[in-house]
Structure 1
Amino acid sequence: MERRKFLQNTCPTVTFAFFGLSFVQACSKSDDEDSSYTSNSNSNSSDPYGNDSQSSNGITESGNTITLDLTNSNFSNLASPGDFVNLTSVDLLVLKISNSEFRAFDNCCPHNGSKNAWSYSNEKFQCATHGNSFSIDGNDAKECNSGSTTGGLKKYSASLSGDTLTITKS
Protein backbone atom coordinates (compact mmCIF):
# COMPACT_ATOMS: atom_id res chain seq x y z
CA MET A 1 0.00 0.00 0.00
CA GLU A 2 1.25 3.46 -0.80
CA ARG A 3 2.06 5.77 2.05
CA ARG A 4 -0.38 8.44 0.80
CA LYS A 5 -3.33 5.97 0.64
CA PHE A 6 -2.45 4.61 4.04
CA LEU A 7 -2.47 8.10 5.59
CA GLN A 8 -5.71 9.05 3.81
CA ASN A 9 -7.45 5.98 5.13
CA THR A 10 -5.97 5.95 8.63
CA CYS A 11 -5.75 9.61 9.65
CA PRO A 12 -9.50 10.35 9.73
CA THR A 13 -10.13 7.27 11.86
CA VAL A 14 -7.35 8.07 14.28
CA THR A 15 -8.44 11.72 14.53
CA PHE A 16 -12.02 10.73 15.28
CA ALA A 17 -10.84 8.23 17.88
CA PHE A 18 -8.89 10.94 19.71
CA PHE A 19 -11.29 13.85 19.40
CA GLY A 20 -14.63 12.72 18.01
CA LEU A 21 -16.21 11.30 21.14
CA SER A 22 -15.34 14.30 23.27
CA PHE A 23 -16.89 16.63 20.69
CA VAL A 24 -20.05 14.55 20.57
CA GLN A 25 -20.33 14.40 24.37
CA ALA A 26 -19.75 18.14 24.82
CA CYS A 27 -23.12 18.96 23.29
CA SER A 28 -25.17 16.05 24.51
CA LYS A 29 -27.52 15.74 27.46
CA SER A 30 -26.35 14.10 30.65
CA ASP A 31 -27.02 10.38 31.03
CA ASP A 32 -28.06 10.64 34.66
CA GLU A 33 -31.17 12.77 34.15
CA ASP A 34 -33.43 10.08 35.52
CA SER A 35 -33.11 10.85 39.23
CA SER A 36 -36.33 12.31 40.57
CA TYR A 37 -34.90 14.70 43.15
CA THR A 38 -31.79 16.76 43.57
CA SER A 39 -31.17 19.61 45.95
CA ASN A 40 -28.89 22.58 46.23
CA SER A 41 -26.66 20.74 48.68
CA ASN A 42 -23.11 20.09 47.52
CA SER A 43 -23.79 16.37 47.32
CA ASN A 44 -26.57 16.86 44.73
CA SER A 45 -28.19 13.77 46.22
CA SER A 46 -30.84 11.65 44.54
CA ASP A 47 -34.15 10.87 46.15
CA PRO A 48 -34.18 7.27 47.42
CA TYR A 49 -37.95 7.25 46.83
CA GLY A 50 -37.71 8.21 43.17
CA ASN A 51 -40.22 5.70 41.92
CA ASP A 52 -43.77 5.60 40.61
CA SER A 53 -45.26 6.13 44.08
CA GLN A 54 -44.52 9.83 44.35
CA SER A 55 -46.78 10.48 47.35
CA SER A 56 -44.27 8.65 49.59
CA ASN A 57 -41.67 11.29 48.76
CA GLY A 58 -43.94 14.26 49.44
CA ILE A 59 -44.92 14.87 45.80
CA THR A 60 -48.44 14.42 44.47
CA GLU A 61 -49.21 15.07 40.82
CA SER A 62 -52.70 15.43 39.40
CA GLY A 63 -52.89 16.75 35.86
CA ASN A 64 -51.14 20.15 35.77
CA THR A 65 -51.14 20.46 39.56
CA ILE A 66 -48.22 19.33 41.71
CA THR A 67 -48.60 19.37 45.48
CA LEU A 68 -45.57 19.24 47.77
CA ASP A 69 -45.77 18.21 51.43
CA LEU A 70 -43.01 20.42 52.82
CA THR A 71 -42.92 18.40 56.07
CA ASN A 72 -41.47 15.48 54.10
CA SER A 73 -37.75 15.03 54.78
CA ASN A 74 -37.02 15.39 51.06
CA PHE A 75 -37.76 19.10 51.41
CA SER A 76 -35.58 19.72 54.47
CA ASN A 77 -33.12 21.52 52.16
CA LEU A 78 -35.69 24.31 51.72
CA ALA A 79 -34.89 25.78 55.14
CA SER A 80 -33.58 29.21 54.09
CA PRO A 81 -34.31 31.75 51.37
CA GLY A 82 -32.23 30.91 48.30
CA ASP A 83 -32.46 27.16 48.90
CA PHE A 84 -33.95 25.10 46.11
CA VAL A 85 -34.79 21.54 45.08
CA ASN A 86 -34.80 20.10 41.58
CA LEU A 87 -37.70 17.69 41.18
CA THR A 88 -36.79 15.94 37.95
CA SER A 89 -39.70 13.49 38.23
CA VAL A 90 -42.13 16.41 37.72
CA ASP A 91 -39.75 18.70 35.79
CA LEU A 92 -39.60 21.46 38.43
CA LEU A 93 -37.12 23.69 40.19
CA VAL A 94 -38.61 24.93 43.48
CA LEU A 95 -36.95 27.95 45.06
CA LYS A 96 -37.59 29.33 48.55
CA ILE A 97 -37.84 33.14 48.36
CA SER A 98 -38.96 33.74 51.97
CA ASN A 99 -40.79 31.87 54.73
CA SER A 100 -44.06 32.65 52.98
CA GLU A 101 -43.06 32.59 49.30
CA PHE A 102 -41.82 29.91 46.96
CA ARG A 103 -41.35 30.05 43.20
CA ALA A 104 -41.48 27.16 40.75
CA PHE A 105 -39.82 26.91 37.34
CA ASP A 106 -39.47 24.48 34.46
CA ASN A 107 -36.22 22.61 35.15
CA CYS A 108 -35.43 22.13 31.47
CA CYS A 109 -32.45 24.20 30.32
CA PRO A 110 -33.48 26.52 27.49
CA HIS A 111 -30.09 25.98 25.87
CA ASN A 112 -29.85 22.21 25.53
CA GLY A 113 -32.57 20.55 27.60
CA SER A 114 -30.50 19.40 30.59
CA LYS A 115 -32.62 18.95 33.70
CA ASN A 116 -30.28 17.94 36.49
CA ALA A 117 -27.32 20.32 36.50
CA TRP A 118 -28.60 23.43 38.28
CA SER A 119 -27.12 25.83 40.81
CA TYR A 120 -28.58 29.09 42.10
CA SER A 121 -27.08 32.46 43.04
CA ASN A 122 -27.64 36.18 42.43
CA GLU A 123 -31.28 35.72 41.39
CA LYS A 124 -30.36 33.33 38.57
CA PHE A 125 -30.26 29.60 37.98
CA GLN A 126 -27.12 28.41 36.22
CA CYS A 127 -27.01 25.23 34.17
CA ALA A 128 -23.69 23.51 34.77
CA THR A 129 -23.77 21.72 31.42
CA HIS A 130 -22.56 24.82 29.55
CA GLY A 131 -22.59 27.52 32.24
CA ASN A 132 -25.57 29.53 30.97
CA SER A 133 -27.56 31.56 33.51
CA PHE A 134 -31.30 32.18 33.41
CA SER A 135 -33.33 34.73 35.37
CA ILE A 136 -36.17 33.95 37.77
CA ASP A 137 -38.27 37.08 37.27
CA GLY A 138 -40.63 35.37 34.81
CA ASN A 139 -39.77 37.80 32.02
CA ASP A 140 -38.36 36.74 28.66
CA ALA A 141 -38.96 33.06 29.45
CA LYS A 142 -37.36 30.73 26.92
CA GLU A 143 -38.66 27.36 25.81
CA CYS A 144 -36.95 24.13 26.79
CA ASN A 145 -34.11 23.07 24.48
CA SER A 146 -34.55 26.15 22.25
CA GLY A 147 -30.82 26.83 21.99
CA SER A 148 -31.20 30.07 23.93
CA THR A 149 -28.27 30.96 26.19
CA THR A 150 -29.92 33.94 27.94
CA GLY A 151 -33.36 34.95 29.16
CA GLY A 152 -35.50 33.45 31.87
CA LEU A 153 -36.86 30.12 32.97
CA LYS A 154 -40.54 29.40 32.51
CA LYS A 155 -42.24 30.29 35.80
CA TYR A 156 -45.27 28.49 37.24
CA SER A 157 -47.86 29.60 39.77
CA ALA A 158 -46.95 28.54 43.33
CA SER A 159 -49.07 29.05 46.45
CA LEU A 160 -48.28 28.08 50.03
CA SER A 161 -50.95 27.00 52.51
CA GLY A 162 -49.51 25.83 55.81
CA ASP A 163 -46.92 23.17 54.94
CA THR A 164 -48.39 22.44 51.50
CA LEU A 165 -47.04 24.05 48.36
CA THR A 166 -49.31 23.84 45.33
CA ILE A 167 -47.79 24.43 41.89
CA THR A 168 -49.85 24.80 38.76
CA LYS A 169 -48.14 24.27 35.42
CA SER A 170 -49.75 26.26 32.63
Structure 2
Amino acid sequence: MKKYFILYKPFLIFLGTFFLTYIVLTFLYQRFLNGFEENQIDSVTRMVSENTEQVLQLFNDESSIEESTASPYMKLFYNQKYVARIVEGCNAISVIILFISFVVAFSGKLLTTLLFIFGGSLFIYVLNVLRIAVLSALIFYFPKQEPFLHGVLFPLYIYSLVFVLWLIWVRKFSRYASKDS
Protein backbone atom coordinates (compact mmCIF):
# COMPACT_ATOMS: atom_id res chain seq x y z
CA MET A 1 0.00 0.00 0.00
CA LYS A 2 2.85 2.36 0.86
CA LYS A 3 4.23 1.76 -2.64
CA TYR A 4 1.02 3.14 -4.16
CA PHE A 5 1.05 6.23 -1.95
CA ILE A 6 4.61 6.94 -3.07
CA LEU A 7 3.77 6.20 -6.71
CA TYR A 8 0.67 8.43 -6.74
CA LYS A 9 1.95 11.10 -4.33
CA PRO A 10 1.85 13.98 -6.89
CA PHE A 11 -1.72 13.10 -7.84
CA LEU A 12 -2.80 12.78 -4.21
CA ILE A 13 -1.17 16.13 -3.34
CA PHE A 14 -3.00 17.72 -6.29
CA LEU A 15 -6.35 16.26 -5.17
CA GLY A 16 -5.81 17.23 -1.53
CA THR A 17 -4.76 20.77 -2.41
CA PHE A 18 -7.60 21.19 -4.90
CA PHE A 19 -10.32 19.99 -2.53
CA LEU A 20 -8.92 21.82 0.49
CA THR A 21 -8.78 25.10 -1.46
CA TYR A 22 -12.25 24.50 -2.89
CA ILE A 23 -13.75 23.72 0.53
CA VAL A 24 -12.09 26.71 2.24
CA LEU A 25 -13.12 29.18 -0.50
CA THR A 26 -16.66 27.78 -0.61
CA PHE A 27 -16.90 28.07 3.17
CA LEU A 28 -15.68 31.69 3.06
CA TYR A 29 -18.14 32.51 0.27
CA GLN A 30 -21.01 30.95 2.25
CA ARG A 31 -20.00 33.05 5.27
CA PHE A 32 -20.07 36.12 3.01
CA LEU A 33 -23.55 35.19 1.76
CA ASN A 34 -24.79 34.54 5.29
CA GLY A 35 -24.03 38.19 6.06
CA PHE A 36 -27.04 39.17 3.97
CA GLU A 37 -30.65 38.89 5.07
CA GLU A 38 -32.83 36.18 3.54
CA ASN A 39 -34.42 38.33 0.83
CA GLN A 40 -31.43 40.64 0.33
CA ILE A 41 -29.29 40.52 -2.80
CA ASP A 42 -25.58 40.04 -2.13
CA SER A 43 -23.22 42.78 -3.25
CA VAL A 44 -21.44 40.67 -5.90
CA THR A 45 -24.71 39.74 -7.63
CA ARG A 46 -25.79 43.39 -7.46
CA MET A 47 -22.48 44.47 -9.04
CA VAL A 48 -22.80 41.84 -11.81
CA SER A 49 -26.35 43.08 -12.47
CA GLU A 50 -25.24 46.71 -12.65
CA ASN A 51 -22.33 45.87 -14.96
CA THR A 52 -24.64 43.83 -17.20
CA GLU A 53 -27.02 46.78 -17.39
CA GLN A 54 -24.12 49.07 -18.37
CA VAL A 55 -23.05 46.68 -21.15
CA LEU A 56 -26.61 46.36 -22.46
CA GLN A 57 -27.09 50.13 -22.45
CA LEU A 58 -24.14 50.49 -24.81
CA PHE A 59 -26.30 48.82 -27.45
CA ASN A 60 -29.85 49.41 -26.24
CA ASP A 61 -30.73 52.36 -24.02
CA GLU A 62 -34.04 50.72 -23.17
CA SER A 63 -32.30 48.10 -21.04
CA SER A 64 -32.48 48.26 -17.27
CA ILE A 65 -32.42 46.30 -14.04
CA GLU A 66 -34.82 46.43 -11.14
CA GLU A 67 -34.57 44.80 -7.73
CA SER A 68 -37.30 42.27 -6.97
CA THR A 69 -39.32 43.09 -3.90
CA ALA A 70 -40.38 39.46 -3.32
CA SER A 71 -37.12 37.50 -3.69
CA PRO A 72 -33.36 38.13 -3.76
CA TYR A 73 -32.82 38.70 -7.47
CA MET A 74 -32.57 41.48 -10.02
CA LYS A 75 -35.03 41.72 -12.89
CA LEU A 76 -33.35 42.40 -16.21
CA PHE A 77 -35.26 44.29 -18.90
CA TYR A 78 -34.25 44.43 -22.55
CA ASN A 79 -36.19 46.78 -24.84
CA GLN A 80 -38.36 47.42 -21.78
CA LYS A 81 -39.37 43.74 -21.70
CA TYR A 82 -38.61 41.56 -18.68
CA VAL A 83 -36.33 38.84 -20.09
CA ALA A 84 -34.31 37.42 -17.21
CA ARG A 85 -33.60 37.43 -13.52
CA ILE A 86 -30.12 37.60 -12.12
CA VAL A 87 -29.75 35.48 -8.99
CA GLU A 88 -26.76 34.71 -6.78
CA GLY A 89 -25.83 31.71 -8.97
CA CYS A 90 -25.37 34.02 -11.98
CA ASN A 91 -22.45 35.94 -10.48
CA ALA A 92 -19.84 33.28 -11.46
CA ILE A 93 -18.27 33.15 -8.00
CA SER A 94 -18.61 29.35 -7.94
CA VAL A 95 -16.83 29.20 -11.30
CA ILE A 96 -14.09 31.50 -10.01
CA ILE A 97 -13.69 29.33 -6.90
CA LEU A 98 -13.30 26.26 -9.14
CA PHE A 99 -10.75 28.13 -11.28
CA ILE A 100 -8.72 29.29 -8.27
CA SER A 101 -8.75 25.81 -6.69
CA PHE A 102 -7.25 24.28 -9.82
CA VAL A 103 -4.58 26.96 -10.17
CA VAL A 104 -3.58 26.61 -6.51
CA ALA A 105 -3.43 22.81 -6.87
CA PHE A 106 -1.01 23.26 -9.79
CA SER A 107 0.67 26.31 -8.26
CA GLY A 108 3.85 27.77 -9.59
CA LYS A 109 5.86 30.70 -8.29
CA LEU A 110 3.86 32.67 -5.71
CA LEU A 111 3.73 35.99 -7.57
CA THR A 112 2.92 34.30 -10.89
CA THR A 113 0.20 32.23 -9.21
CA LEU A 114 -1.36 35.27 -7.53
CA LEU A 115 -1.26 37.35 -10.72
CA PHE A 116 -2.79 34.53 -12.77
CA ILE A 117 -5.53 34.03 -10.16
CA PHE A 118 -6.31 37.75 -10.11
CA GLY A 119 -6.18 38.15 -13.90
CA GLY A 120 -8.09 34.95 -14.57
CA SER A 121 -10.78 35.80 -12.01
CA LEU A 122 -11.21 39.26 -13.52
CA PHE A 123 -11.37 37.71 -17.01
CA ILE A 124 -14.04 35.23 -15.88
CA TYR A 125 -16.01 38.05 -14.22
CA VAL A 126 -15.96 40.21 -17.38
CA LEU A 127 -16.84 37.27 -19.63
CA ASN A 128 -19.69 36.36 -17.28
CA VAL A 129 -21.14 39.88 -17.48
CA LEU A 130 -20.89 39.69 -21.28
CA ARG A 131 -22.49 36.22 -21.16
CA ILE A 132 -25.49 37.53 -19.22
CA ALA A 133 -25.87 40.54 -21.53
CA VAL A 134 -25.74 38.45 -24.71
CA LEU A 135 -27.98 35.79 -23.20
CA SER A 136 -30.57 38.44 -22.29
CA ALA A 137 -30.58 39.89 -25.79
CA LEU A 138 -30.85 36.43 -27.35
CA ILE A 139 -33.73 35.51 -25.04
CA PHE A 140 -35.51 38.69 -26.14
CA TYR A 141 -35.18 37.77 -29.81
CA PHE A 142 -35.46 33.98 -29.44
CA PRO A 143 -37.59 33.32 -26.33
CA LYS A 144 -38.35 29.71 -27.31
CA GLN A 145 -34.61 28.92 -27.30
CA GLU A 146 -34.15 30.01 -23.67
CA PRO A 147 -33.75 26.47 -22.25
CA PHE A 148 -31.01 25.67 -24.79
CA LEU A 149 -29.30 29.06 -24.48
CA HIS A 150 -29.34 29.17 -20.68
CA GLY A 151 -28.97 25.48 -19.94
CA VAL A 152 -26.51 24.33 -22.61
CA LEU A 153 -24.85 26.97 -24.77
CA PHE A 154 -23.83 29.52 -22.16
CA PRO A 155 -22.61 27.04 -19.50
CA LEU A 156 -20.56 25.44 -22.27
CA TYR A 157 -19.17 28.89 -23.11
CA ILE A 158 -18.11 29.81 -19.57
CA TYR A 159 -16.70 26.40 -18.63
CA SER A 160 -14.83 26.11 -21.94
CA LEU A 161 -13.12 29.43 -21.28
CA VAL A 162 -12.15 28.30 -17.77
CA PHE A 163 -10.75 25.09 -19.25
CA VAL A 164 -8.65 27.14 -21.71
CA LEU A 165 -7.34 29.24 -18.80
CA TRP A 166 -6.40 26.02 -16.98
CA LEU A 167 -4.56 24.75 -20.05
CA ILE A 168 -2.64 28.01 -20.33
CA TRP A 169 -1.78 27.82 -16.63
CA VAL A 170 -0.54 24.22 -16.71
CA ARG A 171 1.41 24.60 -19.95
CA LYS A 172 2.96 28.02 -19.38
CA PHE A 173 3.11 28.94 -15.70
CA SER A 174 2.65 26.02 -13.28
CA ARG A 175 5.55 24.13 -11.76
CA TYR A 176 4.83 21.39 -14.32
CA ALA A 177 5.14 23.75 -17.31
CA SER A 178 7.62 22.85 -19.97
CA LYS A 179 10.78 24.90 -19.50
CA ASP A 180 11.82 24.76 -23.16
CA SER A 181 9.69 27.15 -25.25
Shorter-chain TM-score above 0.5: no
Larger Rg: 1
Q: Which has the higher contact order (CA 8 A, sep 6+)?
A: 2
Larger fraction in helix: 2
User: If the TM-score is normalised by the length of the shorter chain, which range does it land in?
Assistant: 0.3 to 0.5
TM-score, length basis structure 2: 0.32
